[in-house]
A and B are shown apart, each in its own frame.
Chain A
Amino acid sequence: MRVNLRSPLRRLLAVLVAALVLGAVAAQVEISIAHTMTGGAHRVTFDEIIEAFHEAHPNIRIRQIPQDMEIYQDTGLIAMLQSNDPPDIWFQWGGDLVRRDAELGFALDLTDYLAEDGWGDTFLDASWSEGTGTMVGDRIFMMPYAFDVTTVLWYNTEIFAEHDLDEPETWDEFLDIVRTLRAAGVTPIILGNQQFWPLGNWAGHITARVVGMDLFDRVLSLEEPFSQPAFEEAFERFAELAEAHAFNRDLAGLGASESMTAFFQGAGAMHPIGSWLISNALTTAPDGFEYDAFNTPIIAGGAGDPQSIIGLATGFEVSARSEHVDEAITFLRYFTSFDNQVAWAEAGRFSPIEGAMAAADIDEHNKALADLFLDANELVPPPDTGYPVEIADIFYQGAALVAGGLRSPTEALAWIDEQLAPLR
């Protein structure tokens, strides 16, 4: 059908329609969100939530800026925050980075927004503490969107059954399992520690269990040296693992994601990594792959809480420079609405919204980890998010030197102190 625009009335009508369309586009506000969701089931759900948000709020458009996690952590976010056009909302790990963003004035204080209409009350109580890393002092600077347990010991149930093994309760039982598997020619623990954090996170948990959270915090805050008996006792645990040949031979050179893939392929019996394994298993593990998890076993004589877990909250911060704070808050409220969070939980994330995990039809592993998180009396912050990354990195490398059998606990702790000397 041809439209006849020669008639003056029709021309006027066309101009009016064009003006209306342009006006609508011009009135639309764009919100940019920088994050690290480059794939996986949760990214699909996030896209769906945004799509639904566009329909519910036609005057707001969401522009996603997804980046690879390591690029985002190293340079991506810093470059964006320093630019003339920082994102309105960005992903952040709870802890030291939230403190940094708050102190430098990048992150908006969300306390009053969360107090409106009881929005903050819809979150689990655990959301609002310095332990989970969402707060600085008594002010909230990060809206959590997921809790992550950063290390549990995932195990291949088939291999465990084949060797008649049960989940260990204590560290000694755990070492027995390692020795049994090694004697049977199975790699007990497969891990890719090329970047130090996979083993480092677990090392942080073991150390906090042995030395106690107070001393752990003082030493990681550089108030005391690493070379002291309690830390030597903790590092002895890594030496025990090295002596038992617990790890894969390519531990030091294998990447984190490659080692997870290898675990899915049965290359090792156990894999110490975080809760994100679940969503990766949904897309990467072969059909029929059965797995389960247990927390770091109880270490006899440890000064820390024997049932502690290591983890943190991850979430969104809002830019203090944003010209569209109201729209950004509108989106965050929409995203954390109960229904959306049920969908979020079903995509494999541990939702911080009260009741969402219970209402969701979720993977049994997710439910178990959620229970583990909620039942824990103590939350150990991962060193690389709870403390300055340089301190964590050096601590991780020291632990890896012992676990790799390259240095004794005493030597490794002295090496850590030597490396950290310029920061004291």
Chain B
Amino acid sequence: MGLPSRTERTTGGRAVRASRAARLETFQKYLFVVPALALFATFVLLPLASALYYSFTVWEGLGTPAWVGLRNYVRAWNDSIHVRSYLNVAVYIAGTLVVEVAFGLLVAVLLASDRRGFGFMRGLFFSPMVLSMVAAGLLWTYVYDYRRGLLNEGLRAAGLGEWAHPWLSDGGTAMLAVIIVSGWKYAGFYMIIFLAALRRIPVSLYEAAMLDGASPLQRLWHVTLPLLRETGVVAVLLCVTGGFAAFDLFFTMTNGGPFNATEIPTTWIVKQAFDRHNMGYGAALTIVMTAVVGVVSLVYLLATRRRHAVEY
């Protein structure tokens, strides 16, 4: 076998240089990603892996965890309060879809005008958003208080003292009471999201609809709502995932009570992990919840993917 010719050497050299440059470029790309990956691994993957490990153990937060395999997951499956907490959160999410998203949409449509005073009203609707959830929860706990609460005192003052009720102490009314506060807090947030989307709809579409003789209701149904579909998908996703992550409002207002009537997965996890010092079981419940939220989000996104998105 003879030596390569000059041409071959030159071509080979170029190929080697090109290959090196490509490798360097690839390396540089990864180098830029490393900090983000390191942060993600440290603050997301590592805790998740750690929770996964503890979910297979019995551990009270002190001492050495004892490996118990799938026992915590079997327990979670058979835990009637845990199962009930998912039904409760489903009710809560259904309620918040109405009082947050639907009501937010309604308010956005009604207040999407530059007429005098409408900006102030939008500000009023949005203002509860600036409060922390804990502050809102405490505030409303006083409103619902059986003895001195604003609601019952109002009823008594109006001569309807018989209607005064321990709203947060009765399993029949506690969840509704929490849902109302959630709506009060977040309807303004969804209103702003929908308002932003409404402002992007060209006026010409409404003018064309009017020329075609469409009534205000028909314009809403055939122009506004279809063009808000994508925003609605995002709003519902936010509401559903936010519903699963709800904790502080329940913690401050009912702490899952009375008798688990407002127990949701997060309050049950906290009770197991911190009140009862069942860190292992609490970790297993966390993994279950992560999986449930992941699956629900995925199914929802697949079901609502942009097949017929309207371009405008």
Contacts and interface: CB of A to CB of B under 8 A. Distances in A.
B35 to A, nearest CB: 28
A249 B162 CA distance: 13
Contacts, number: 70
Contact of B78 (A106, A195, A253, A422): A422
A292 interface: no
Contact of B254 (A248, A253, A401, A404): A253
Contacts of B75: 422
A52 interface: no
B166 A390 contact: no
Chain A interface size band reads 20 to 34
Contacts of B278: 390
* Central interface residue in A249, A262, A397, by most chain B CB within 10 Å: A249
Given A106-B62, A250-B146, A393 B275 contact: yes
Contacts of B259: 252, 397, 400-401, 404, 406
Given A252-B259, A406-B259, A422-B78, A74 B274 contact: yes
Given A418-B80, A422-B78, A249 B146 contact: yes
A84 interface: no
A134 B75 CA distance: 34
A104 B63 contact: yes
Interface string B56-76: 000011110000000100010
Contacts of B274: 74-75
Contact of B169 (A75, A253, A389): A253
A254 B169 contact: yes
B283 interface: no
B181 interface: no
Contact of A253 (B63, B81, B168): B168
A42 B276 CA distance: 29
A104 B62 contact: yes
Nearest to B275: A74
B168 to A, nearest CB: 4
Interface in A189-219: 194-195
B174 interface: yes
B174 to A, nearest CB: 7
Nearest to A407: B259
B128 interface: no
A4 interface: no
B174 A389 contact: no
Contact of A194 (B63, B171, B257, B277): B257
A372 interface: no
Interface in B155-183: 166, 168-171, 174
B147 interface: yes
Interface in A15-74: 74
A125 B251 CA distance: 43
What is the predominant secondary structure among interface residues of chain B facing chain A? loop
* Central interface residue in B169, B171, B259, by most chain A CB within 10 Å: B169
Interface in A251-271: 251-254, 262, 267
Interface in B248-274: 254-255, 257-259, 274
Contacts of B61: 75, 78, 82
Contacts of B275: 74, 389, 393
A359 B139 CA distance: 46
A124 interface: no
Contact of A262 (B147, B258, B276): B147
Given A74-B274, A406-B259, A250 B62 contact: no
A175 interface: no
Given A262-B147, A401-B259, A393 B276 contact: yes
A10 interface: no
Nearest to B81: A419
B62 A100 contact: yes
A101 to B, nearest CB: 8
A249 B169 contact: yes
B257 A252 contact: yes
Nearest to B272: A390
Nearest to A81: B62
A249 B167 CA distance: 10
Contacts of B166: 249-250, 253
Contacts of A104: 62-63
* Central interface residue in A104, A250, A267, A401, by most chain B CB within 10 Å: A250
A375 B29 CA distance: 79
Given A390-B278, A418-B80, A252 B63 contact: no
A390 B79 CA distance: 14
A274 B62 CA distance: 29
B276 A251 contact: no
B270 to A, nearest CB: 9
* Central interface residue in B168, B254, B275, by most chain A CB within 10 Å: B275
Contacts of A406: 259
A73 to B, nearest CB: 8
A406 B259 CA distance: 9
B169 A250 contact: yes
Contacts of A404: 258-259
Contacts of A251: 169
A75 B271 CA distance: 11
B258 A252 contact: yes
Interface in A225-276: 248-254, 262, 267
A422 B276 CA distance: 14
B150 to A, nearest CB: 15
A250 B169 CA distance: 5
A390 B277 CA distance: 8
Contacts of A390: 276-278
Given A74-B275, A390-B278, A422-B78, A253 B62 contact: no
Contacts of A100: 60, 62
Interface in A397-424: 397, 400-401, 404, 406, 418-419, 421-422
A400 B258 CA distance: 10
B138 to A, nearest CB: 12
A251 B166 CA distance: 9
A285 to B, nearest CB: 17
Interface string A92-113: 0000000010001010000000
12 contacts: A81-B62, A250-B146, A250-B147, A251-B169, A252-B170, A262-B147, A390-B277, A397-B259, A400-B259, A404-B259, A419-B81, A422-B78
Given A248-B146, A253-B168, 17 more contacts: A75-B61, A81-B62, A104-B63, A250-B146, A252-B169, A252-B258, A253-B146, A253-B254, A254-B146, A267-B147, A393-B275, A393-B276, A397-B259, A401-B259, A404-B259, A422-B75, A422-B78
3 nearest A-B residue pairs (beta carbon): A253-B169, A252-B258, A250-B166
